[in-house]
């Protein structure tokens, strides 16, 4: 297993598009693992799973990231010590580092599981289906709940122990239709927008998390009315919520609906609904900075302990075990977007440094 080169793997991975289908990238990952002597399986949800198990009891450490990427595909290029292309930092660079660490460390005790999901950028059905994250986990050895999780994302080698969550919902204002020539005969739902938007700006305005700061609540799209000569009976707008612990999605919905209803007159009705999705929303998480996985990875990487700047599947793992987000690359730099942008890149030195940090962390925890 000493021959594995994370940078060579990354170059091949970035040249393997996975913005429309992950099939080819998943095959590459499975074949790479098996060529290095590690058995890999693909479960019914499309997750790639591989384990290395020690002879003695010990902690279960999970290494997680994803193989899907956002569109459009950005072609691979090598610019000296920099690899460019879609997925180079989000998250095939982190995958290369995690894979290198898994192959380098044979546990004496406990186990290391690599769990690579297929749809983090969309609905997270893969992560939601992992046995060791479900309430029915622990039925067999391979389903043991984790004791610590490292989620691969571009953090610039910092150890991110917290992140905001993301909820999406719709605020609907209901009035009553009438002819526009006699507006007093109806209840104009669009006129209800003004007090509702004002109230939106005062919702939990004094709330603050010590690491993540204040939550945000942003209206993003709006629609209303069906005819230009009719008083509109309905008006709605979509909201984007970036939450902080310990807020849950349904708690947020109830609280916001009550707040908005208190702000409008009795002539209009206000409802708040959450977007429909097959999987749970990505909720905020906060792993204590003195947790073993945080301290060990911090010491190995030399990075700062700080919050992560985006919602990730770390939310699911943090519900059952101390979880950190870590990896090479950055979400953005001084020139603008990197991850999800047209100039996505990762530096080779960071990929190797991330692999070394995770390897040293595993050697501390399972050797």
Active site (catalytic) residues: 68, 120
CA atoms lying within 13 Å on the CB side of residue 65? 26
Q: Tell me the CA end-to-end span of the chain in Å, nearest whole number.
A: 17
Instruction: Give the largest CA-CA distance in the chain.
Output: 82
| Other Cβ atoms within 10 Å of 97 Cβ, number | 34
Encoded tokens for 75: 């072609």
DSSP string, 170-206: EEEEE-B-EETT-GGGSB-TGGGHHHHHHHHHHTTTT
Of 110, 141, 146, nearest to 127 by C-alpha is: 146
Strand partners for 216: 242
Listed in sequence order, the residues at least 6 apart from 194 whose beta carbon sits closer than 8 Å to its beta carbon are none
Encoded tokens for 108: 């004496």
Q: How far is Cα 99 from Cα 4, in angstroms, rounded to an integer?
A: 9
Three-state SS at 42: strand
Listed in sequence order, the residues at least 6 apart from 292 whose beta carbon sits closer than 8 Å to its beta carbon are 148, 322, 365
Q: How many residues does the chain have?
A: 367
Q: How far is Cα 222 from Cα 276, in angstroms, rounded to an integer?
A: 18
Preceding peptide of 271 cis, ω within 30°: no
Q: How far is Cα 7 from Cα 227, in angstroms, rounded to an integer?
A: 58
Strand partners for 179: 230
Q: Are 300 and 211 in contact (CB under 8 A)?
A: no
Q: 49: part of which helix (H) or strand (E)? A: strand 48-53
């Amino acid at each position: 297993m000493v021959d594995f080169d994370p940078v060579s793997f990354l170059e091949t991975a970035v040249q393997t598009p996975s913005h429309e289908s992950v099939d080819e990238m998943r095959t590459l990952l499975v074949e790479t693992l098996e060529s290095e002597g590690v058995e890999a399986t693909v479960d019914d949800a499309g997750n790639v799973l591989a384990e290395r198990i020690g002879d003695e009891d010990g902690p279960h450490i999970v290494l997680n990231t994803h193989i899907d990427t956002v569109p459009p595909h950005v072609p691979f290029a090598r610019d000296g010590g920099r690899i460019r292309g879609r997925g180079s930092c989000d998250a095939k660079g982190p995958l290369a580092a995690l894979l290198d660490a898994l192959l380098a460390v044979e546990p004496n005790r406990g186990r290391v599981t690599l769990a690579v999901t297929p749809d983090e950028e969309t609905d997270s059905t893969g992560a939601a289906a992992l046995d060791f994250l479900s309430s029915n986990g622990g039925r067999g050895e391979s389903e043991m709940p984790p004791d610590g999780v490292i989620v691969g994302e571009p953090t610039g080698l910092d150890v991110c122990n917290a992140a905001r969550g993301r909820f999406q919902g719709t605020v609907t204002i209901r009035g009553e239709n009438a002819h526009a020539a006699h507006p007093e005969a109806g209840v104009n739902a669009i006129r209800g927008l003004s007090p509702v938007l004002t109230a939106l700006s005062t919702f939990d305005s004094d709330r603050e998390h010590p690491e993540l700061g204040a939550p945000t609540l942003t209206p993003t799209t709006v629609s209303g009315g069906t005819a230009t000569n009719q008083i509109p009976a309905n008006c709605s707008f979509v909201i984007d919520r970036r939450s902080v612990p310990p807020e849950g999605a349904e708690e947020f919905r109830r609280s916001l609906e009550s707040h908005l209803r208190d702000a409008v007159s009795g002539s209009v009705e206000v409802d708040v609904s959450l977007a429909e999705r097959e999987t749970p929303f990505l909720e905020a998480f906060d792993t204590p900075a003195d947790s073993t996985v945080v301290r060990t990875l911090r010491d190995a990487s030399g990075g700062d302990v700080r919050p992560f700047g985006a919602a990730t599947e770390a939310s699911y793992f943090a519900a059952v075990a101390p979880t950190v987000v870590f990896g090479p690359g950055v979400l953005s730099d001084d020139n603008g977007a990197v991850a999800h942008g047209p100039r996505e890149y990762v530096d080779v030195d960071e990929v190797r440094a991330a692999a070394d940090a995770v390897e040293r962390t595993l050697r501390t925890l399972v050797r």
